[in-house]
């Protein structure tokens, strides 16, 4: 059991670091593209960059979904705290593990369905960059699978070590 918990901790740490990197990198990219396009719109005779309309639509889903992964890891995504406050001891942990299992299952189904839709949307391409329109759907699939994994990781920790091992963070302390 200890090996499983160590593996869960390592996987969780890798996912959190990846999500933080994606949030920071995509946030910087969105800022640079948008700012560059605004500057170009007012300084160039062509009125801006044609690709700058498409890039944010391709980058933004990754930005949002990485944030959702971080929120799920920190216990700030779709939380139902009032129910847990009414339960105590093993019932609280059992309710949390059950809710985590339902949530992880739903995200796994969402991830699978996003892949199905991505395959359909991949036939169409963006007008300027000629990238497949499936990029956003694949970001949804990856994000959903990662949310499921971190949700399961927290549930395993709570199941093994108790309620106190649940990842919690207050709204005032949301570090990347």
Residue pLDDT, tens place only, 78-124: 556 777 778 888 888 888 899 899 999 999 999 999 999 999 999 99
Across 14-34, average pLDDT: 95
Predicted TM-score (pTM) of the model is 0.83
Which pairs with CB-CB distance under 8 Å and at least 24 residues apart come from 172-175?
174/74, 174/76
Q: Where are the domains of the chain?
A: 2-165
Does 146 score more than 70 pLDDT? yes
Structure-token pair, residue 162: 């108790």
Q: How far apart are the first and last CA of the chain?
A: 30
DSSP three-state, residue 98: helix
Across 122-137, average pLDDT: 90
Does 33 score more than 90 pLDDT? yes
């Amino acid at each position: 059991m200890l090996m499983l918990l160590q593996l869960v901790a390592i996987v969780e740490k890798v996912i959190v670091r990846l999500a933080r990197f994606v949030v920071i990198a995509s946030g910087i990219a969105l800022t640079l593209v948008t700012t560059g396009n605004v500057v170009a719109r007012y300084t160039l005779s062509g009125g801006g960059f044609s690709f700058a309309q498409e890039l944010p639509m391709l980058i933004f889903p990754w930005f949002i979904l990485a944030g959702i992964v971080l929120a799920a890891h920190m216990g700030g995504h779709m939380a139902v705290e009032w129910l847990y406050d009414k339960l105590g001891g093993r019932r609280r942990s059992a309710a949390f593990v059950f809710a985590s299992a339902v949530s992880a299952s739903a995200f796994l189904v969402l991830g699978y369905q996003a892949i199905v839709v991505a395959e359909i949307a991949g036939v169409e391409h963006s007008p300027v960059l000629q990238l497949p329109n499936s990029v956003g759907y694949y970001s949804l699939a990856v994000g959903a699978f990662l949310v499921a994994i971190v949700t399961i990781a927290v549930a395993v920790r709570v199941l093994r070590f108790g309620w106190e091992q649940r990842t919690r963070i207050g709204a005032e302390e949301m570090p990347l």
